[in-house]
Structure formats: structure tokens, C-alpha cells
Structure 1
């Protein structure tokens, strides 16, 4: 058996190769994604000795794009005809992209559910510490959980939305209202941001960021205790809106935390990729000060 192939025109088009009478495995291998190359070579060698059907999915590089290919056929001498083995290449890029999207969605949903349960516990403890009677605790907890439900509606795209914008200050107020102390004179969450509209697409992404940062604060930061205070302010220039998230009064920060969780990766990806912005953390001993720099033109989308 040799390493030579004969392929039809569709196969050459799939691999992005010019037509020729035959092609060698080494020529195809040069187009296989480096991360898959050794695995595909081992599978190709195995077809010479393993009897029966085989199937392997792998990535190939065509110009600047990546395609997923499924190679299927019969190994060893199964159904061999005139010393020739037969197989097919299928373009399964669409299926693979759908699978990756489903995996990402499943991971995000799992993370979201765990966060909601943690938040419910945190809000229960917060309400218990500030309530004087059982009825006061019931009312306070019900109000906070209802507000959390309203906030959660903003961290997912809604079907049939009309693209209407929301004011930046209202977005913060709605999302952070479940964690405020309604009994305090001025509240422990203070929002003073520029009056400007935020487009639907950006509002959904920014809502996810705010929700995630609030979750982290309830777990570890200023919003985890009654004495904690959160200030959200903004500065605007010709190109950027700079938001400052400043926490004080929470547990003392003794060292810089390692941000490796799904939620923190989601925050970073959302700000840098979806909002074309930048995020900077300043872990002061008195609390986190985070600076979010966002392009004004992107906020309007």
C-alpha cells in the first residue's frame, strides 16, 4: 500500500488544492491543523492493519480559514477492490461549530445557575443580618430576589427585541439594586455615571459584566458584608467612556487574587472582544478598584 490518493474535484476543492491526477498523504498533511496532524497520521497508519470501518474528524487550514473534515472508509483489506481502498471526506464545519456553541452555552448556563444559587444564599444572609423581625426578613428577601430576577432578564438576549436602548445609569441601577441596603439613608451602592444611551447588543454584554462583578463582590468583596460600599462613577472623553468600580469597607485584601475562573474569563473576553475596551484591576487593601474603558461608538450598538 502506498501513500498516494486519487480524489474527485469536490475533495480537491474541500482541501483548497489544485486538481492533479494524484496526491500524497504528505501533501494533505501540510494542510492539517498542527494540533491534529500527529493524531491523523497515526489514524492513517492504523487503517493499514485494523480491519473494519474507520472515522476520524480533524481540522484543516485553507487560506485563512479553518475547516472541519470527517474522513471515513474501510481499514485493512475490508471491501478492497483491485488493491485500492476507498473512503470519503465530508465537510462537517457547520456541525462542529454548532457543537462548540452548544458546549459554550452549556458551560455558561451551568456557571449562571451556580452563581444564582450562591447569590440567593448571599442575599439571604445579608437580609438576615439587617432584619429585626421575621416579617421584615421575609419582605426584604422577597424584594431582593424579585430585583435579582429583573436583573437576570438583562443578562440574556430577549427574542423579538426591538433594539431599544437603555440609559447607562439605569442599567447599573437595575442590576445592582438586589444588593443595596434599602434601610441606609443613602444606600451603600452609589452610582454617578454619565447620562447616555446604550444599544441593545452592548447592553446585554455590559449587563453580563456588571452581573458577574456584582457576583464576585457578594462572594468575596465589599457587598459580602453590611459595612461594604460600592461606588460606580464615569469619565467621558471624545472616544472613551471610563467606568470606575470602587469597593471599600469589605474584607481586607492581603494579596492579589488569581483570576482563573469561567466568570473572570467571560468578563475579560466581553470587554476586550465584544466591547472593544480594556479592563484594569487595582487590588487595594481597602477593596477592589476596577477601571473599564469602553469605546463610545461601541456602546451605542
Structure 2
């Protein structure tokens, strides 16, 4: 007769098998298991956990000993997170990454996550222990820091290229007075690209983090700031929040700069009462940007020929953004519709 499933010996064997399978799974995932009890003031770890932190002894650590192994800059924040996880009013989740100083002097990056086991209900509820995993992410962090260093250096070099090209254009224009209008237009285009670069590649922190999410609204606000008189609302921007990547920002900067330049020379911004309204909306997988001019000089008909800036804008919309741009030369003011795949914007 087979043993009953609730027989103590059967249960013990099942628990041993489950523990063995769990250990195999954790080992395969390159994780170390650990258990922290604040009441008992002990932190215990699996063999892999002890290897990760460089503490081979099977004797448990005290919580103070463990905190002492953390990098001084990460210690206070990690202590706060542990205390917050044990708060009986919370859900007990714990997730962070930090630097740990191993006894052999090596600094390793640890990704840690866990969950507090609570007992009791209501006012009697308390955290029994925090159970979690350690992962050594040192190699990944070093690669990330190397990429951040390369990105900062590349960004610096690009800014230098903008400055050098602008200076070359200015010097060339001095020797050729007849080319000054063209040189001025070129410098303005370069400045527009530089402002777009500043927005999507802000000065990075030491850990490689940038200045936050870059959006179309933020890009246009910065790009068109030089065209807005102090306290003036002649350029009104209202765009749905959508992230934008570096490549798309460069192309869109060229397009918008060309329209702003034309509006100042020939369009709504050429007269004091004229305004430009820019609206951005999300339409499924397409982002639609509408440029609408009002209050400018009446438009009799569409231009007989396309200038270089208009051709450049059309090519940027088509080739770099994978989208389209159309012009409506309405008598009350120019209306431009730009359609861009959202995937291209954020890619």
C-alpha cells in the first residue's frame, strides 16, 4: 500500500525534493538566496550568495556587519529601503542595487530583490523575515559606465564640430560679402541642430543618466525659444507628450527651423499681429504635427518654386522620419501637416 500523501516521511521527502529543485533553479539563474531577520539580527545566505559577497563562512552575518560591507555612499539608502520593506503598513517589497566591499578588497555591484514575510493581522502584524536574491551585476555596470564615458566624449566632440563648422562659415563669409545671406542661413541651421543635440543628449551624470525623458514638446520649446520675444505668445506650442529619440529630433529640428525662418521672413511672424500655432496629437501609430499661421499677410497662391529649405524639410520628413509633410497655402495663412510614425520618433 503506497504511503499517504500527508505522512510525515512523505512530506519530508517532498520538501527536500522541492528545496533541491529550487536550489538548482537558483543556481542556473546565477542567483544567491538570502534571508534577513531583523528580530534575530541575522542574515543567512546560500553557498552562491556567500561566494558573491566574498564571505565563505557558513556562520550568519549580523545586520550591522552586512551594512558595514556596503559602499558608504549606498549604505544609508539601503538601510532606508530595508526599514521600509519591514513596515507592517506596506507590501514588503524590496528592490535595489548597490556596491558591496568584499573582504578581499574587491568592489562588486549587487542587484538585490526580495519580499518580507509578515505574520499576524492588524496592529499585531509584523515582518518575520526578508527573503530575496542577490545577483552580481558588476560586469554589466562596468560596461554601462564605459558606454556612458564614450557617450559623454562623443557628445563633447559633436559640440566641438558644431562650433568649428560655424566658425568656418563665418570666416568664409568675411572674404565673400555676397555670400553672407547664405552663410547666415547655414549658421542658423547649424545652431538649430546644436540646440536639438543639447536637448536629446543633455550633460550626463557620472553614472551615465541623462536629464530625463525627451519629448516633442520639450524639443520644440527649446528649439523655438530664440524666435519668441520676451513675454510674447506669438508661437504657441501644444503637443501631446510623446518621447523622441536623437535621430528623429535632428530631422524634426531641421524641419521646424525652416518653417520658423520662413515665417519670420515671409509669413505670420513677419508682421506684429501674426501668430504660429503648433499642435501635436497621437493618431494610432502616427504622430501628427500641425503648424498653422494666422494673422500674417494674405496669401494669394502657392510659391512658384520650392526653396532649398523646403526641399530639405521634405527630404528630412520622408527619408529620416519615414513620414510625410504637406503644405496648404490658405489665404488666411500657411498650414503644414507632418505625419511621423511613432516607432520612428522613439527609435
Greater CA radius of gyration, 1 or 2?
2
Does 1 or 2 have the higher relative contact order (CA < 8 Å, sep 6+)?
Answer: 1
Q: TM-score, normalised by structure 2?
A: 0.42
Q: TM-score, normalised by structure 1?
A: 0.48
